[in-house]
Structure 1
Amino acid sequence: MPGISMKQLGDEYERRAAHFLSLQGVEVLICNYRCHCGEIDLIARHHDYLVFIEVRARRNPRFATAAASVDYRKQQRLLRTAQFFLQRHTKLANLPCRFDVITFEPRQSTTNDSPQWIRGAFTN
């Protein structure tokens, strides 16, 4: 998209993911949580779980999938950031936690890049 920065594009996908999740009954608590350890796109409550959500988008299907881009190194950074968050938000620390990924990827048959929700994308 000409004239749109990568940051603006990322923010738009995160907004779309938050909206999608709210339609699924997920309560989004925090968008763009940042600390010295890293960043988590969305932190939410889903049923009895505290969910840390990474939002990924790919516009070119020739490269690795959006889900595959959440590699081991990124997972470790998310884990450290989640631990830091839980140390500072002790009221939420007793909830079971889950790491989900919301992906936006172009489909072969359409230009629609509807979100795909991968629950429990990885574990600690």
Structure 2
Amino acid sequence: MHAIVYTREAEQTRAFFRDVLEWPSVDAGGGWLIFKAPPAEVAAHPTDGDGTQELYLMCDDINATVAELKAKGVVFTQGISDQGWGLLTEFELPGGGKMGLYEPRHPVATEIGASS
């Protein structure tokens, strides 16, 4: 999968992924960084409106992850809420936009094929 985050401040967002989230990257040329993302899963949710996509990062301990990111200057736009299926919050991205962060309370597809 190749996910794209559109932003008015691509350089700042790339620096955020590199320096704050500490994702490794390759340079596709001219400083155009492409990041290795954490393990991913995709779900299809029903909607009555137009289709949309959302991007969430998953973590094992949302309180510890929020504290770590706040210490790096990340601004959270809402508190942690219990959704039943998981604990959820969101933070600002440089250049506008938000990204979700959640601690799942459901089986996760990233564990398929993982050895015990």
TM-score (norm 2): 0.29
So what's the TM-score if we normalise by structure 1? 0.28
- Greater relative contact order (Cα < 8 A, sep 6+): 2
Q: Which protein is richer in strand relative to its size?
A: 1
